[in-house]
Chains A and B, each alone.
With several copies, the nearest count.
Chain A
Amino acid sequence: MTVLVTEPKSHLEPRLHGEAITSLPHDLYIPPDALEVYLDAFEGPLDLLLYLIRKHNLDILDIPMAELTRQYMGYVEKMQAIKLELAADYLLMSAMLIEIKSRMLLPKPTEVESEDDPRAELVRRLMEYEAIKLAAQKLDELPQVGVDLMVANAYFEQIVQVQAPQVAMEDLVAAWQNVLKRASHFAHHKVGKAELSVREHMSQILRKLKEHNMLEFSALFDVENEGIPKLVVCFLAILELAREGLVKITQQAAFTPIYLQINQSN
C-alpha cells in the first residue's frame, strides 16, 4: 500500500494497460488509511467508473450494469465514512447506476426495444469524459513556456522617449480663454488677428536683430515677396517694438539709412 501513497497523481495512471493502474488493488479491499489516497487519484465518479470498466474489462457499449453497480457501490460505501464531502457526487452516481439497473430489469415492450437503452446517457457521458481526460493528458504533455520553453527576453535600454504632450489648437484656445477670463478682472486687451500678426512680426524682427545685431530698416521688408498688408504689419511691428523700447532706431542724418538694433542702452 505504500506504493499507493508514493504514487503521484499521475495523469497517465488511469490507463488500463499502463503500469500505474496495475498497482491498484485487484479486489475491493482497501485499507481505510489508503483509501483517501486512492480516491484522490480519481477525479470523480465518472473517473472511478471508467477505471472499473477497464479494470474489469467491461464492454463500455454493453455495460453489465449489475456488475458495475456492485463494484462501484463497494467503493462508495468505503468512501462514505472518510470523505463525506466527496461522497456527494459519488452518491449521485450510485443513484443513477441503480436506476439504470432497475430500468433494465423491467420487461421491455418489443416495439420500444431499439428506442432507449437506459445506459445510453451514461455511456455518452463516460465517453465524453474519457475524451476530455485524454485531451487533458495531451495538453499537459505539450511544452509550456517557462517550463519547457524559454523565450528570448534580452535587455535593451529603453530610451524613455519623453513623448511630448500633444497639444491641439482647442487646448491652446481654451488656455488663452482662461487667461483672458482671469485677466479681464483687471485689464482690457484688444486681441485680434491684426494685432497678433503684428506681434508675430515683432518676434521675427527681434530674432533677426539678435542674429545680425544691427539691420537697416529696409532690410526688414521683403518688398518683392510680400503684399502691402504684410508690409504694413511689419512696419507696425517696428513701431510697436520701438514704442515698447525693445529696439532702438537710429538715423545719422536725414535721408541716410535708418538702422535698427536691439535696445541695449542702460
Chain B
Amino acid sequence: MMESNNVSQMKVVLEAALLTSPNPLSLDEMLRLFPERVERATLRMLLDELKQDWQARNLNSMELVQVASGWRFQALPELAPFLSRLNPDRPHRYSRAAMETLAIIAYRQPVTRGDIEELRGVAVNPNTIRQLQERDWIDVVGQRDVPGRPSLYATTKTFLDDLNLKSLADLPEMETFLEQPFSEDEVILESAPETPPQVDFIDNSDASS
C-alpha cells in the first residue's frame, strides 16, 4: 500500500499521527512511524506540505504548528472561545472578604478603601479590590479630597445587571442592626479604646474639608 504512492501515504500517516497525539511529536518520533528509513529532510518537507494543505483548506479548523518539543495540530486560536465552552471550570466562589467588601461598596458607596477597612476592622487586600474591578462590578468614581486622595469606589451597572437588579434601591433593605438595642453595644463600647470609634466614617472623614 505504501509502495505506489509513497510520499502521499506518508503524509496521511503523519497527519493521523499528529491528529491523534495529545503531545507534540518530535522529528525522531515521527521517523519511528515508518518501517523504512526516512530522511529527516523528507519529513520536514512533508510537514511543511501538510501545514500548507491545512492552511489552504476552505473553512479550516486546525493548524499544524511547530513548538518547542515538536509538531502538533492545534485548533485555530479564534475557535478557543467556542471550545472552552465545553469544559468550563467550575465557577468558584468569592472569599468572605471579597463579599463583604462588595457589600460595603454596594450599600455605602462611594467609599474609600479606608472606609472599608474601618468597617470591616481589617486591612483590605488590594487583590480583593482588583478582583471586583476586573469583574467590572466596582469602579473608581472619584477621589476623596483628603491627604492621599484615596479612590472612591462604587458599584457599576454591570453589577446591577449581573445581580438582576434595576437599581441599588432593589437591594434588600438592611436596617436590622439599627433595630438592635444598645444593650450589647454598650458593653463593647466600654471596652473599646478611649478614642471613640469612628461612628460614621464618611461624615467623619469629610470634617476636614
Contact = CB atoms under 8 A, between A and B. Distances in A.
- Whether the complex brings A and B within 8 Å at their CB atoms is answered yes
Given A43-B100, A154-B73, A175-B102, A165 B92 contact: yes
A183 B141 CA distance: 25
Contacts of A166: 91, 93
A61 B192 contact: yes
A163 B174 contact: no
Given A145-B161, A163-B92, A164-B91, A117 B196 contact: no
Given A180-B176, A245-B144, A245-B206, A117 B185 contact: yes
Contact of A120 (B81, B92, B185): B185
Interface string A110-136: 000011110110011101111111111
Contact of A143 (B144, B155, B163, B192): B163
Contacts of A246: 110, 142, 144-145, 152, 206
Contact of B74 (A149, A181, A184): A149
A186 B185 CA distance: 7
Nearest to B97: A43
B168 A192 contact: no
Interface centre among B93, B135, B144 (most CB of A within 10 A): B93
B122 A89 contact: yes
Interface stretch (A24-32, A65-73, A194-202): A194-202
Interface string A88-125: 01000100000000000000000000111101100111
Contacts of A134: 174-175, 202, 205
Interface stretch (A204-212, A217-225, A250-258): A204-212
B63 to A, nearest CB: 10
B90 A206 contact: no
Interface stretch (B4-12, B15-23, B41-49): B15-23
A179 B106 CA distance: 12
B193 A152 contact: no
B162 A146 contact: yes
A83 to B, nearest CB: 12
A209 B142 contact: yes
A95 to B, nearest CB: 13
A78 interface: no
B77 interface: yes
A200 B167 contact: yes
Contacts, number: 392
A188 B186 CA distance: 11
B102 to A, nearest CB: 6
B201 interface: yes
B205 to A, nearest CB: 7
Contacts of A33: none
Interface in B131-161: 135, 141-146, 152, 154-155, 161
B185 A199 contact: no
Contacts of A167: 94, 99, 102, 162-163
B95 interface: yes
B22 A155 contact: yes
Contact of B96 (A17, A136, A151, A158): A136
Lowest 9 A-B CB distances belong to which pairs?
A: A245-B209, A186-B197, A203-B154, A44-B122, A152-B73, A156-B75, A175-B99, A176-B103, A62-B192
Interface of B: 16, 18-22, 24, 62, 72-75, 77, 79-81, 83-85, 87-97, 99-100, 102-104, 106-110, 119-123, 135, 141-146, 152, 154-155, 161-165, 167-169, 171-178, 180, 182, 185-186, 188-190, 192-193, 196-203, 205-206, 208-209
